[in-house]
Amino acid sequence: MKQNKVIWRSPSNIAIVKYWGKKGFQQGINPSLSFTLSNSFTETEIRYQAKKSTQHIVAKYYFEGEYNAEFEKRILTYFENIQTRLELFDHYELEIYSRNTFPHSAGIASSASAMSSLALGLLSIEKTIRVIPENNFFQIASELSRLGSGSAARSVYGGFTLWGKLAGVQKSSDDFAISIYKKLHPVFKNLQDSILIVRSGKKPVSSTAGHKLMDNHPDKAERIHQATKNCKALTGILKEGYFPRFAEICEEEALSLHKLMKTSNPSFVLMQPETLTIIQKIRKYREESGAKICFTLDAGPNIHLIYPEENKAEIRKFIQNELLVYCENKKWIDDKIGSGPKQMN
């Protein structure tokens, strides 16, 4: 057999309701809700050929064109975790080539796009061995992605997605994400995400370590309640289109995430002084202009500025004139809601 390949492009996503804390194996302690981005994606090419070695899993990993031993180790651990779910490891040896459209350390969650593009590729290869029902393909891909990185479960669909069991939402599950709202209100259809880079360096505390600190967090039960309530509220708001309530929940979630970090044991702070200055500026601008705009934060100091397309022109001016001065080398990334992963071959 000659060498074959699959190529998948999969985007990152930005959580409005945050996944923070794990239970079981790679399940969130609470439901989370996000929208998939458009320009920030990982493209992963997996070359596969008949296995010659007797070793159970054979895979080499290249990142941005170069062999990467550190990432390969993580990928091999991931493959060990999912080996009972896929037959392909018995048949093929793999060479994996990944690249991001955004700088690795730009403060964008790269595990969501990296793991989902990898899982989608693996599942496409699995299809050469056994039947994967077409209507289940993305659900299985979401579950496989989740086992690599929780937030990756939400990247396999376009638009808004929900991961975690939520009463009243059919098919919602702790095992995989589902796509929500083909009936999205127009105000949310073309949401923009301008990512203001306050610091691009590596985070002092990884998300994985942060999740762990939720195990014994004194506010854990309250947090689960809050996130569940916010997911529920958003499922209505996304249909009805009431932006001010969306903005309130979005900011409450961002600030709660960082509050949980500050009150963990050990405690840690990922915000920078510029993060707070930008937050204050956004709130003042919203109050004065009445613009539909809000912010969220991931596990880092960078600001995701969220607004509908209708406000784009004036908000771009606001970013340029008032916010970029607080960014590292005036850097920002222009992104928006996207249509989900794409197979490229």
Q: Report the interface residues with ligand DP6, using CB under 6 A.
A: 15, 18-20, 32, 109, 111, 149-151, 207-208, 211, 257, 298-299
Sheet holding 303-307, edge to edge: 294-297, 303-307, 192-196, 332-336
- We find the least distance from the C-beta atom of residue 157 to ligand DP6, in angstroms, to be 15
Q: Rounded distance, CA 101 to CA 91, Å?
A: 31
CB of 235 to ligand DP6, least distance (A): 16
Question: Shortest approach of ligand DP6 to residue 188 CB, angstroms?
Answer: 18
Task: Report the C-alpha gap between 248 and 258 in whole angstroms.
Answer: 16
Q: Which is nearer to ligand DP6, 263 or 289 (CB)?
A: 263
Q: Which is nearer to ligand DP6, 208 or 320 (CB)?
A: 208
Question: How many angstroms separate the CA atoms of 14 and 304, rounded?
Answer: 8
Q: How far apart are CA 52 and CA 92, in angstroms?
A: 8
Closer Cβ to ligand DP6, 110 or 311, answer by number: 110
Q: Which is nearer to ligand DP6, 197 or 315 (CB)?
A: 197
Nearer to ligand DP6, 211 or 292 (CB): 211
Q: Report the alpha-carbon distance of residue 47 to residue 65 in Å, rounded.
A: 14
Q: At closest approach, how far in Å is the CB of 318 from ligand DP6?
A: 25
Which one, 192 or 207, has the nearer CB to ligand DP6? 207
**Rounded Cα–Cα distance for residues 32 and 142 (Å):** 14
Closest contact distance (angstroms) between CB of 147 and ligand DP6 is 9
Whether the CB-CB separation of 117 and 41 falls below 8 Å is answered with yes
Angle at 342 between CA 337 and CA 345, to 5 degrees: 155
Smallest distance from ligand DP6 to CB 159, Å:
16
Cβ-based nearer residue to ligand DP6, 146 or 286 = 146
State in angstroms the smallest separation of the CB of 297 from ligand DP6: 8
From residue 216, alpha-carbon distances to 22, 26, 136, 225, 337 in Å are 11, 17, 36, 16, 35
Structure tokens, 177: 């994400």
- Shortest distance in whole angstroms from residue 46 CB to ligand DP6: 20
Strand partners, 95: 47, 60
DSSP secondary structure code for residue 136 in this structure: G
**Distance (Å, whole) CA 263 – CA 261:** 5
Tokens of 274: 């510029």
Which two tokens mark 28?
């969130």
Pick the closer one to ligand DP6 by CB: 15 or 319: 15
